[in-house]
Amino acid sequence: DPAKAASRHNINLSENELLKGVSRLLEDTGKLQVIMPYAEGNIFIAEASDFGLFCIKIIKIKSLPTSDIRRLILTFSRTRQEAVKQFLTIEHGRRHEFTDEYKNLTKDFYLKF
């Protein structure tokens, strides 16, 4: 499904284009949130500061308690401050046995929660 693929990748909008647009349009008190793969997210944090956008919150996401960190939810603002760091585990250990944290975070997007 091309639409699904586009939503999961940056083939239509580069990270640089996104940062340029956000830098131009974001209100002084506004925030940008993105979900990114772990490695790309760490690079994005450094690139964002070049546009006057500073990471103020990092949620490190694991699929399972024993998994490596796979994704980051990053929050940026125009105000430089120490980033709050949190961890989120999606599943307890069995497939589709979601943690309460994950359910609370995604309940507005999934009807089954």
The pLDDT, as a whole number, for residue 56 is 98
Tell me, yes or no, whether 76 lies in a domain.
yes
- Number of domains into which the chain is organized: 1
**Residues 39, 46 contacting (CB under 8 angstroms):** no
Question: What percent of the chain is modeled with pLDDT above 90?
Answer: 77
The pLDDT, as a whole number, for residue 110 is 84
SS (H, E, C) the chain: CHHHHHHHCCCCCCHHHHHHHHHHHCCCCCCEEEEEEHHHHHHHHHHHHCCCCEEEEEEEEECCCCCCEEEEEEEEECCCCCCEEEEEECECCCCCCECHHHHHHHCCCCCCC
Tell me, yes or no, whether 22 lies in a domain.
yes
Tell me, yes or no, whether 111 lies in a domain.
no
pLDDT 10s digits, 92-108:
987 889 999 999 999 99
More confident of the two residues 113 and 50 = 50
pLDDT 10s digits, 64-96:
999 999 999 999 999 999 999 999 999 998 788
pTM summary value: 0.84
pLDDT tier, 8 (very low <50, low <70, confident <90, very high otherwise)? low
The pLDDT, as a whole number, for residue 113 is 76
The pLDDT, as a whole number, for residue 2 is 66
Tell me, yes or no, whether 6 lies in a domain.
yes
Q: In which region does residue 3 sit, left (phi positive, over 0), alpha (psi from -120 to 50) or beta (all else)?
A: alpha
Tell me, yes or no, whether 91 lies in a domain.
yes
